Structure 1
Amino acid sequence: MNRDVIITCAVTGAGDTADRSPHVPVTPRQIADAAIEAWNAGAAIAHMHVRDPETKQGSRRLELYAEVVEHIRAAKCDVIINLTAGMGGDLYIGPDDNPTDFAAETDLVGAMTRLEHIEALRPDICTLDCGSLNFGDQNLVYVSTPEMLRKGAARIKELGVTVELEIFDTGNLWFALQMKKEGLLADNAMFQLCHGIPWGAPPNLGVMKGMVDMLPEGHQWAAFALGRDQLPFAAQSVLMGGHIRVGLEDNLYLRKGVLATNGQLVEKATTLVDTLGGRVLSPTEARATLQLKPAGGNA
């Protein structure tokens, strides 16, 4: 069991959830305020996407990320800033008789373009989605090829930003371990085991245990699952030696029929850790555990 637990709050994703709950933050100010809310509730890390304020859909625009980071830093909030670098991998395959007629929603760019906001803002942590994935039941494929991953991992390491390796299935983890063998990952690379994203790793504890057994010794890791499995997987992550991720990116509900805020989900996670006999780490303590630079060190 992990008795010194870091809580990450994924405050808003890129999914089509903004119209399903009034608590999902959309504008840069709302996203920054959600990160501060999560920090006040006990989260050491805020994981953030940005959204187009007009369409409410996920965006890659640098100025939106910059505004979020500026608001957080101006508030003297020492939450650890974790920005996604996963946007730009959406490939919408065309109809069966013309699959290369990619749909207008396609947003597919190379590894370096996906890192433009990381280059500019130097957050504490950024994510790297470690493989391609059939995403949902239609024709959306998330594309993250070995060549893209090698280029992205090498550049993140050069920038001195800590990488969080997003593991959506066992093959993703296999390739992440290969990048470690090739020297593409810093010694403090983190692993995030992601469950319940169709069609990656299912929310199955046997699958989770198998991936935990594959993790390299000495690296910090966390696990999460979507929807109603969020809190049970948080508990299992702590019991297996990992950290916790909660937040509205992954789950909109506090309990059946009751919409949650990010702060409420973090509060539930802190109660869980306390009930299990653990301790929630502050951002300063989390920085030491994760071997991060002091607050503001990447600015």
Structure 2
Amino acid sequence: MSKVIISCAVTGSVHSPTMSPYLPVTPDQIATSAIEAAEAGAAILHLHARDPETAQPTPDPNVFMQFLPRIKQSTDAVVNITTGGGQGMALDERLSAAVRASPELCSLNMGSMNFGLYPMLDKYKSFQQPWEPAYLEASRDWIFRNTFKDIEYILETLGKGHGTRFEFECYDIGHLYTLAHFLDRKLVTPPLFVQSIFGILGGQGADAENLMHAKRIADRLFGDQYRWSVMAAGRHQMPFVTMGAINGGNVRVGLEDSLYAGKGKLAQSNAEQVKIISEVLKALSLEIATPQEARDILDLKGADRVGF
């Protein structure tokens, strides 16, 4: 078993400021939180941006460039920039920061899907920002678009154009078969970094049988040509990433995926979640990969070839 790569998804586009006072939203907060996560053991930092005034998700490359250079100067961690963005963003908007920054790694969602955030409306009586309830409600009628053409465009633009490799986000079993389709066409090259995602409304549920089934199908489709990772939403985060690690996978934590550090306890930082999973991995006698080891495992181009 190779060393376990810890990814940390620092802020995302799912949660809103009402949900936690610890969610990093300004460029300074995102940079600080990301650096702390790296110092705690995260080899990969998965990054979105937010409007510093409203905390609403934004694709603006200028906002990304307010924290990317600082993160690079302060840590050796691999920077992974979203291409999923947030709801309501057009494809070119979703890619704009990655095209500007030319990172080592980007997320790439492997299929269109319903992505329901609206159940969170029932958990809060009021909201800090006027955009929050409308944003959550809009997900009731939102399709997260990732067509075959969209995926081809992203692979061409960032893969061929920038030498960027991908965290292939697979929310369902069909997404694994879509990735296999692109592998057959030689539009993606091993080692594939496959992120199995559980617990999002519209994707595969947080059921242990689903986790094991995803691993069996990925093994069948990709053999030794992939590196597996697991993430899960909300309260399922730590149990599922632990199960993934026990079964030979890498792990992803962070405030994008869960706001908690235990039952009813809000995580006060991304680093807190990284420290928790680091201790779990050590207790399981699993070794944690350094950023350079993660680069070697995933065959990344290196931090000296990025655009920030």
Deviation at 1:108, TM superposition (A): 4.4
CA distance in 2, matches of 1:288, 1:242: 16
* Match for residue 150 of structure 1 among 140, 149, 152: 152
Matched position secondary structure for 1:12: coil
* Match for residue 199 of structure 1 among 191, 198, 202: 202
**Percent of aligned pairs with the same amino acid:** 34
User: Structure 1 length normalisation: TM-score?
Assistant: 0.89
* Contact persistence 1:15–1:57 (CA under 8 A): no
Deviation at 1:5, TM superposition (A): 0.5
* Match for residue 167 of structure 1 among 166, 170, 173: 170
1:130 paired residue number: 110
Instruction: Report the count of equivalent residues.
Output: 279
1:238 aligned onto 2:219: no
Deviation at 1:45, TM superposition (A): 0.6
1:15 paired residue number: 14
Runs of at least 5 residues in structure 1 that lack an aligned partner in the other structure: 91-106
CA gap of 1:67–1:186, structure 2 versus 1, over 3 A, is farther
* Contact persistence 2:104–2:302 (CA under 8 A): no
CA distance in 1, matches of 2:214, 2:39: 32
CA distance in 2, matches of 1:171, 1:156: 23
1:268 aligned onto 2:249: no
CA distance in 2, matches of 1:181, 1:151: 17
CA distance in 1, matches of 2:151, 2:193: 15
2:43 paired residue number: 44
1:213 paired residue number: 216
Matched position secondary structure for 2:305: coil
* Contact persistence 1:126–1:162 (CA under 8 A): yes
Q: Where do 4+ consecutive residues of structure 1 move more than 3 Å?
A: none
CA distance in 2, matches of 1:294, 1:58: 28
For residues 243-258 of structure 1, the aligned pairs below 5 Å read: 243-258=250-265
* Contact persistence 1:157–1:186 (CA under 8 A): no
* Contact persistence 2:79–2:103 (CA under 8 A): yes
CA distance in 2, matches of 1:109, 1:201: 25
CA RMSD of aligned residues (A): 1.5
CA distance in 2, matches of 1:3, 1:147: 34
* Match for residue 236 of structure 2 among 224, 229, 233: 229
Name the structure with the higher helix share.
Answer: 2
* Contact persistence 1:3–1:277 (CA under 8 A): no
Deviation at 1:241, TM superposition (A): 1.2
Deviation at 1:221, TM superposition (A): 1.8
* Contact persistence 2:231–2:241 (CA under 8 A): yes
1:185 paired residue number: 188
2:90 paired residue number: 109
Matched position secondary structure for 2:197: strand
1:297 paired residue number: 305
Runs of at least 5 residues in structure 2 that lack an aligned partner in the other structure: 119-139
Name the amino acid aligned to 2:184: K
User: Structure 2 length normalisation: TM-score?
Assistant: 0.87
Matched position secondary structure for 2:72: helix
1:176 paired residue number: 179
CA distance in 2, matches of 1:227, 1:87: 19
